[in-house]
Amino acid sequence: MSSRGSDSRPNLFLSTRKIYKAPFVRAESNIFTSGRLVNYRYGSGPDEVDAFFNAKKPWSKVKDKIVGDYIHCYLQTIQRLERPILIVDGFSGPGRFGDGTAGSPLIICDAISATDKGRVGIGCLFADTHPGHRTALERTLVEHIKRGVSEKPFDDWSEALTRALEVGTNSTLFFYLDPYGIKDLEFDMVKRIYERDPRRSTEVLINFNFRTFMRMSGNWGYGDSASEVSLKVKAAKVDTVNRVMDGDYWKAIVTNPSFDKIAREDAVVNAYMERVRRFFPFVYAIPVQDKNETEYAVPGDELARYHLIFGTRSRRAVRYMNDVARNALAPYLNKFKDGLLFDMTPERRQSAPRDLVKEEIVKAVTVKPLLRPDIYEIVIPKFFMQYLVKDYHKMIDELTFKEGRLYPDRSTMHRKTQLNDKTLLSAKPWGIV
């Protein structure tokens, strides 16, 4: 992409576009210095910016950390495939919040600029239906657009998707879909991503908002009984929800009398992920929570603010996202332990016992001797987001040096008590293998 300017873009979208005033209160010269306040005119007009972008919310910071850290890892490693890389941010917003913090487009473009591009081109496509957001975004990204890292933003995510599928046939594609709600995530549209040639690397990170799902499927309350939910569902925007969810299977879940609000959330998100798993072998939900408890309240389990659904065909990608997501959620997970007498972590957020994870490590090595990175890629997908790679490293050390359940090929070790990533590990002593 960096080799292509915006000239190669079909005129179709540009020619139909109206010109609106720029959505800024003051001259742009003092607006775009990193970290400074941005003087947007807020409102819903075409030359204004949605009040949503006034200041970044705490949960958006968690989401941005996940996007930024993952894109950074992604760009470092995916270059090895030696194919052009295209990142699509389908619901991009103006690029910067009013409080000066970077929005996803800037986070992505900055990560690209900070990456040594090697021999492959890296580029991105953005889209936003709101003209005020597009105008602001073009100015935020002016330097990146000039350098050919990005094209001008598209008017709708479906256009950016079409463009990506057209120009990216041989590229590695990453899609970030972060709409306000869920109505724009029609499954048939998103499926165009999933159905791409499986020989090419394709990944998605989708913001799935269960609270919007609740609203659209009947605005039932957390405490509503299954029969109350059932009545409300009848009056809801059922067709839209069906199109997003790829069917009406969700109705049986939300009206199941044995589910409380937490069980409903888990079941709906899991069922949605099952649909995506028909296309991607690895699909996970990263719950981004509201930190709504006061300092003195006993922390409890709550619905997630939203889930980031991550889909990939690559075990290595799972390993990277595992650490990125675990680290980003650490402040939330730690509040169930830090300064408390007992571990109050809700059951669904608890990590599997280390003994069970060790068992899986030994099982993997029993099939054939493996290197440490291979073990990570086999075991981490089974325990996504429960332990960091450094924890697996420690467990492998314990299995080898304390418990005598793994046997290292000593000829590859530089020191007697230190494994490295080139050390083959076996479940039997080497003479017997």
Among 77, 159, 170, CA closest to 125 = 159
Q: Which residue, 88 or 229, is less far from ligand SAM as judged by CB?
A: 88
Residues that bind ligand SAM (CB under 6 A): 90-93, 103-104, 127-130, 133, 156-157, 178-180, 184
Q: Give 273-327 as a DSSP string.
A: HHHHHTT-SEEEEEEEPP--S-TTSPP-----SEEEEEEES-HHHHHHHHHHHHH
Residue 265: CB minimum distance to ligand SAM, A: 20
Residue 325: CB minimum distance to ligand SAM, A: 17
Q: Which residue, 153 or 408, is less far from ligand SAM as judged by CB?
A: 153
Q: Angle between the 372-379 and 389-397 helix axes, to the nearest 10 degrees? A: 120
Cβ neighbour number for residue 421 with a 10 Å cutoff: 11
Containing H/E element for 87?
Answer: strand 85-89
Q: Which residue, 104 or 135, is less far from ligand SAM as judged by CB?
A: 104
96: Cα separation from own chain's centroid: 19
Distance CA 226, CA 228 (A): 6
Q: Which residue, 141 or 357, is less far from ligand SAM as judged by CB?
A: 141
Q: Which two tokens stand for residue 312?
A: 């990939």
Question: 236-245 burial, b for 16+ CB within 10 Å, e for fewer?
Answer: bebeebbbbb
- The residue nearest ligand SAM at its CB is 103
Q: Which residue, 91 or 320, is less far from ligand SAM as judged by CB?
A: 91
Q: Is residue 282 within 8 Å of residue 314, measured between CB atoms?
A: yes
174 has which bridge partners? 87, 203
Residue 299: CB minimum distance to ligand SAM, A: 27
Containing H/E element for 310?
Answer: strand 306-312
Q: Which residue, 179 or 373, is less far from ligand SAM as judged by CB?
A: 179
Degrees (nearest 5) of the Cα angle 205, 178, 129?
Answer: 135
Q: Which residue, 92 or 289, is less far from ligand SAM as judged by CB?
A: 92
Residue 427: CB minimum distance to ligand SAM, A: 46
The letter for the amino acid at 36 is: R
Residue 79: CB minimum distance to ligand SAM, A: 24
Terminal Cα-to-Cα distance of the chain (whole angstroms): 49
